[in-house]
Amino acid sequence: MDFETAAKMSGSRFTLLSGPLARLERAIAQFFLDTHTEEHGYTEVSPPLLVRDNALYGTGQLPKFAEDQFRSEATGHWLIPTAEVPLTNIVAEMIVEEETLPRRYTAFTPCFRSEAGSAGKDTRGMLRQHQFYKVEMVSVTAPEDSEAEHERMTGCAETVLKKLEIPFRTIVLCSGDTGFGARKTYDIEAWLPGQGTYREISSCSNCGAFQARRMNARFKRKGEKKTEFLHTLNGSGVAVGRALIAVMENYYDPSDGGIFVPEVLKPYMGGLGKIVSS
């Protein structure tokens, strides 16, 4: 884990991983994807990482949070802050049939955030980066099903942490901390022994019809002529970089500075049982 070399080429809030640690990061992401697609019924998507203004407007990042985004001067595209943006926009300007609901999508992508409003927060280490990887979950439902889907989605995120045997807690955010476009949010916080505290590793939100209205995403019930706005939900399933930190700290061996590989990740690591400090 090399911050100095990353800073040499990119500045602060970037990290270079190499060797077994880079493989461990990839293993965590693949494990998350496999679990969500094979056990939780999500469809894997490989989406664009550059989107237009309308896509970010639809999910609520524009215009309010423009300063938190990265933008290409060459084309005017925005780098996605999370795969929530392209995954949710799959149904933008669409009228879907009720029988196709719920729709569940997942993607593993890099995420890009300027962190403009986080001066002084987590400036060291890799907790808060300009570029990080995340496995995202998005659900699209009928209005009456979104509350149950929210509980289900949160359970999916909790499941991967249970499989990793990472201690965590789930809290419901008060209205003052709930995001701009969400009606209810659960934060899942993993235990980090190095800090002696719990830190957010996933946030699962029910956005109701807020995003659907901005995207004009609707559905039609069987036998009905009129359309209704869909409900959309999103959640981290989970943040890969923070999961890597949680694994490193919870599986740390103080006797030699090595890291034990969680049992569920060993198949993705070629059977390697421990990463030894070099």
Residues with a catalytic annotation lie at: 113, 128, 200, 203, 242
- For residue 125, give Cα distances in angstroms to 14, 71, 121, 207: 9, 25, 11, 31
| Residue 22: Cβ within 10 Å count | 13
Two structure tokens written together for 157 = 């995120």
Q: Which helix (H) or strand (E) holds 106?
A: strand 103-112
- Cβ-in-10-Å burial (0-12, 13-18, 19+) of 196 comes to exposed
The rounded distance, in Å, linking the Cα atoms of 174 and 187 is: 11
Two structure tokens written together for 113 = 């955030």
DSSP 51: E
Q: Helices 146-164 & 19-38, crossing angle to 10 degrees?
A: 140
**Please, are residues 205 and 82 in contact by the beta-carbon 8 Å criterion?**
no
